[in-house]
A = this chain, B = another copy of it.
């Protein structure tokens, strides 16, 4: 369908390639670009090009970075005996936000998902194992999502890492803060019960 002139259709198509954007939303977005003043629009275009150009993956932890080694890996004050393994840079940001964790990170760049044809060789697991070579690291926290893929990845990693004599842990399961017991799903409730603690 080609309701609009070509350059506008092209822009609409581009917006549709973003996650969660359907045709009507893409049309609204494209029009909002036309409504911007020229400077803002070019700045938008440049922000995309620049982000793509300058953002690389940290050589150590694979997190996104604008330098070869990211600020977290460079930071001498961080605890080098713990590595928190996550799916993507978004989870690094979430954990950094709570200002509670002072160790290092490792970004896998995905989760094991046979259904999507993603095997362990597609993830940055080799790079993780190579970081465990000397005796610095004492614990690997596997902080993947509590989904089927997250579980599978966590199991795979623990089988790989435990033989190296390094403690492998997983984030706690349970009721989310502010959640209601009444509406918790069965698996969550089962795990909250199973993981109960003395108070």
Shortest Cβ distance from residue A102 to the other chain B in the assembled complex, whole angstroms: 17
- Annotate A25-48 by CB proximity to B: 1 below 8 A, 0 otherwise: 101111111101010111111111
Which residues of chain B are near A8, meaning CB under 8 Å?
51, 55, 64
Interface centre among A27, A45, A50 (most CB of B within 10 A): A45
Residues of B within 8 A of A32 (CB): 17-19
How many residues in A have their beta carbons less than 8 Å from beta carbons of B? 50
Would you call the interface of chain A mostly helix, strand, loop, or mixed?
helix
Contact flag A33-B19 (CB < 8 Å), given A3-B96, A64-B5, A93-B4: no
Q: How many identical subunits does the complex contain?
A: 2
- The residue that A52 contacts in the complex, of B27, B42, B65, B90, with Cβ under 8 A, is B42
Q: Is the CB of B89 within 8 A of A10?
A: no
A166-195 CB contact bits vs B (8 Å, 1 = yes)? 000000000000000000000000000000
Q: Is A66 at the interface (CB under 8 A from chain B)?
A: yes
Q: Which of B11, B27, B29, B48 contacts A90 (CB 8 A)?
A: B27
A17 and B55 CA atoms in complex are apart in Å by 21
Do A30 and B52 contact each other (CB < 8 Å), given the known contacts A3-B96, A3-B97?
no
